Amino acid sequence: MRKSKFFVTSALLAVCLAFGGAFFSVPAAQAHAAENVLLSDTYQAETSLINPPTVIFDVKSAPDLTELRSSLTGRRPGSAILHISAQKNVVDEDGNAIGTLADTVNSIRAKVIPILAVETAPEAEALISYIRESGLVDTAVLSSDPVLVKSVRDACPNIRGVLHIRSDAAWSESNYEYVRAASLCGAGVVMLSAEEATWERVTYLQSRFKAVWAISSDEFDDIGAIVNGAYGIVTEDFSATYDVFESFTEPVHARMPFNVAHRGLQMQYNENSVSGTKAAIEAGATHVELDGKLTKDGEIVMMHDDDIRRTTNGEGNIESMTLAEVKEYSLIAHSPEEKIPTLTEILSAFRFSDAILVFEIKTKNTALVTRLKEILDKENFYENIVVIAFDYPNLEEMRRLLPEIPTADLNSYSEKNFAEMLPKLGQYSCAVSTNGSSTKEFNEKYLRDRGVIGWYWTQADGNAVDEAFEKGLTGLTNNVADHLNQKADIYRVVMGQTVIGAKSASIGDRAPLTAVRYDGETVDVIGEVVYLRAGGSDDPNDSGFYSVIAKYVSGDMTYYTPVFHVYLGSGGGGIGSRGGCFGVVGVSSAVALSSFLLLAAGALVLTAKRHRSKK
């Protein structure tokens, strides 16, 4: 296999940031050259999983390519990774040509989305030449080098980007650096090893508009990617991965939704207020969506309407007022009254919280972006903010001035207009936040299969939230952010507890778990071990460990934990008999946001064995 020699350094990321605006200015001729928008008709798995991960086939050999082509009329991957040479060939893992790029793409693109992988500058130049010649739009460039992703995206702005963060490269361990690097190079997808795609990292990235594709090497990795909430599984055996999906026989969710408080907790508090923001976070909002406008003297204040009369004791166009004039009026929809806040005042409500500000640019004045950058620099508030907008000049200005901030397009996306709208995801390097009337098919077939997490507005009440939940929609912008937390059987995640010193581990063992509600309240519960994979080494002094997935049932909801570990040793109690409970020397309980799986398949003990060997 070709190995990347690329190492990520802070200096290189600084170069990406310095040239971010130049890379993301959209040449008019290229932006309108989307004449070849043939959408791949992706296969939808026959499974009871709700919104399961998309399946990506990594083509590494001539037999792989033959298998891919033979699958096109039936069960097939959603996407296929094709490794590109400087000679515009598709190559195997040893660099040998197995087909021309043009012929290969043309043979699969009607049914499978081609993901085009490059690792050198000559390969990137060859890909740029091919994209320009073909006009291909429904595709993405993939590389472990963010500079190459950026260069291809700059030259071919209609396509999307995937950043492969290799576990053997010198990446920072900071999850924020992953988001920042992906944003700077224009990648909406981050591809990680199964070990790196933990529940914590997956949730962190996906809460900031970056879909995670997890690389699987065996059946346990497939299951782990599902329970850890990954949006895609990169596999060398797509048929075996679909077998895992199809083992589910009753409706189960692959992940819990993000709970986005629309204008704060607006049913009980003033909208776009400091108090409403704090209340939403306390009630279990993972995100708070607030609207920003620019005053006449250049300050950002939080207000949805152009005129302040609906929500305050005054009237007039807020953008025709100075900040001092705005501060003369108060928000009065709910008691107590409070002043219209500035963005800086709102940011104080997010301190000491993991909640994310979804900042909507509610003006056509692009000068707001300049002021936004000044405030974020002063407050050092880059990690927990994403930006959404209807106005494309503002999205373009975000790419120029704040390319490290993830963004989303608020305009309408649907099955009917998707071919027309798809190039905009590349041109503005943005995600999709669209109206909540979306269908399950659109969310999965059109967005998920292209590495785009669906964010939907606005669920007005609890019934609408429940309906969106049943569809498996991931980002729920709603007016009742306390609703999910009030449902008795709903947990944000049920976490396993790392066990140190157990004598053994077996299917059916009882396992100590921690159930976490949306507001962070925790409950200690007992679940059942349903999947195990043995680990350890050849060292006779190493007792080894198991990677474990456990199940917990609460009312009508069945939760599956993200992967956790049981370390074997002589100090703990025995758990060898079915129905026994982990003997514990030490337990570390990770209580944080994560993804969950409602699993219906039978329990299995899995080993680290590849799906199949055909080379």
Task: Kindly report, residue by residue over 177-191, the tens digit of the pLDDT.
Answer: 999 999 999 999 999
| Mean pLDDT, contiguous 10-residue spans, the chain (615 residues) | 41 49 43 66 93 97 98 98 98 98 98 98 98 97 98 98 89 90 98 96 98 97 95 98 89 91 98 98 98 98 98 98 98 96 98 96 98 98 98 98 98 95 96 87 96 96 95 96 95 93 90 96 96 72 82 89 88 44 43 29 33 37
Look up residue 552 and give its two tokens: 């917990």
Among candidate residues 26, 107, 15, the one with its CA nearest the CA of residue 68: 107
What sections of 186-339 are H helices per DSSP?
A: 199-206, 219-227, 238-246, 274-283, 323-326
Q: In this predicted structure, what is the pLDDT of residue 543?
A: 62
Which phi and psi angles does 610 have, rounded to 5°?
Answer: -60, 150
The model's pLDDT over 173-229, given as tens digits with 9 standing for 90+, comes to 799 999 999 999 999 999 999 999 999 999 999 999 999 999 999 999 999 999 999
Look up residue 160 and give its two tokens: 């999307």
Q: In this predicted structure, what is the pLDDT of residue 536?
A: 59
- What the chain holds in terms of domains, given with CATH numbers, is 10-253 (3.20.20.190), 263-486 (3.20.20.190), 493-592 (no CATH)
What sections of 349-505 are H helices per DSSP?
A: 367-379, 392-401, 418-427, 440-441, 462-471
- Residue 444 gets which letter from DSSP? I
Global pTM reads 0.91
Q: In this predicted structure, what is the pLDDT of residue 253?
A: 86
Pair type for strands 510-516 and 522-534: antiparallel
Which phi and psi angles does 221 have, rounded to 5°?
Answer: -60, -40
Q: In this predicted structure, what is the pLDDT of residue 556?
A: 87
Q: In this predicted structure, what is the pLDDT of residue 37?
A: 85
Neighbouring residues of 58: CB distance < 8 A, sequence distance ≥ 6? 64, 80, 81, 215, 234, 235, 236
What sections of 207-273 are H helices per DSSP?
A: 219-227, 238-246
Of the CA atoms within 13 Å of residue 271, those in its CB half-sphere come to 20
